[in-house]
Chains A and B, each alone.
Chain A
Amino acid sequence: MTIEELLKKEMFRTVNPGEDKERQITGVFCCDLLSIAMGKAPADCAWVTVMGNVNTIAVATLADVSCVVMAEGVQLDETARARAKEQGVTVLATEEPVFEAALNIYRELESAGA
């Protein structure tokens, strides 16, 4: 499933569209500790978190995730938002808790067969 296809499901608000909407999402990863996410988030995953500071964007870029999903209605702070724009990182948001947000993405991935 591509980012574009996920956006079309209208499950999430778009905080920052990012530079590559054709990018594939191949898995889901949940974690708020950046130290853990850095080492464990698989490349090309949708990363669901409630940690919304500028370092979240740095980790997303460097660990090469497909997109960040902010759960629980948590907002990216201003610096993080600016950095996401600058680095072309796709950031989505939802009021749902982490588990539900991740489960919904997982279900879409399953039904897309990817």
Chain B
Amino acid sequence: MADVITLTYDISPDDFTRAGEASSDVKSKLKQMGVPPEAIRKVSIALYEGEINMVIHAEGGRITVEISPQRIYMVLADKGPGIPDIEKAMQAGWSTAPDEVRSLGFGAGMGLPNMKKYSDEMNIETEIGVGTTVTMSVNIA
């Protein structure tokens, strides 16, 4: 895997039955490429949390994953409402998820904290009414 491989996924809004399909696909591709299991697990968890966030809070969006021999670089871009207070959003337990989302087992306010925990680098760019772009990278070995 000398070259950079790029994968792109469009995420549909409000579709919880499909949420996780992009992350699962990335996971199986990384497995085929022989990426170490610990890196795969980190990418899977971080990406799934991001994917769920896009389904819950934004009107869906687009996920781009670049896989190089050194690292896995993920860009999650949405045209959602933006995050008014990133510091609060990063606090474990802080959530603005609606009740129907909570009844599915989400909305515990662990999304962004989990993304930070499982990625080696994370950056959030957000503008109210315009959207949010989260970039994360996971180093391979």
Q: Count of A-B contacts with CB under 8 A?
A: 74
Query: What is the chain A residue whose CB lies nearest that of B40?
Result: A64
Determine if B37 is an interface residue (Cβ-Cβ < 8 Å): yes
Q: Are B44 and A35 in contact (CB under 8 A)?
A: no
In the bound assembly, the distance between CA atoms of A53 and B105 in angstroms comes to 9
Name the segment of A6-14, A55-63, A101-109 touching the other chain: A55-63
Size bracket of the A interface: 20 to 34
Picked from B24, B41, B47, B106, the residue with its CB within 8 Å of the CB of A35 is B106
Q: B69-97: which have CB < 8 Å to A?
A: none
Q: Which residues of A contact B (CB under 8 A)?
A: 32-39, 43, 51, 53-56, 58-59, 61-64, 79, 87
Q: How far is the CB of B114 from chain A (nearest CB, A)?
A: 4
Picked from B19, B105, B117, B118, the residue with its CB within 8 Å of the CB of A33 is B105
Residues of B within 8 A of A79 (CB): 17
Q: B8-44: which have CB < 8 Å to A?
A: 16-17, 19-20, 23-24, 27, 37, 40-41, 44
In the bound assembly, the distance between CA atoms of A34 and B16 in angstroms comes to 13
Dominant secondary structure at the B interface: helix
Residues of A within 8 A of B45 (CB): 38-39, 62-63
Q: Are A35 and B37 in contact (CB under 8 A)?
A: no
Q: Are B49 and A38 in contact (CB under 8 A)?
A: yes
Q: Are A62 and B105 in contact (CB under 8 A)?
A: no
Given A38-B45, A39-B117, A64-B44, do A33 and B20 touch, yes or no (CB 8 Å)?
Answer: no
Q: Are A39 and B110 in contact (CB under 8 A)?
A: yes
Picked from A43, A51, A54, A62, the residue with its CB within 8 Å of the CB of B23 is A62
Q: A34-B104, A39-B45 are in contact. List 8 more A-B contacts (CB 8 A).
A: A33-B106, A35-B106, A55-B16, A55-B106, A58-B19, A58-B23, A61-B20, A64-B37
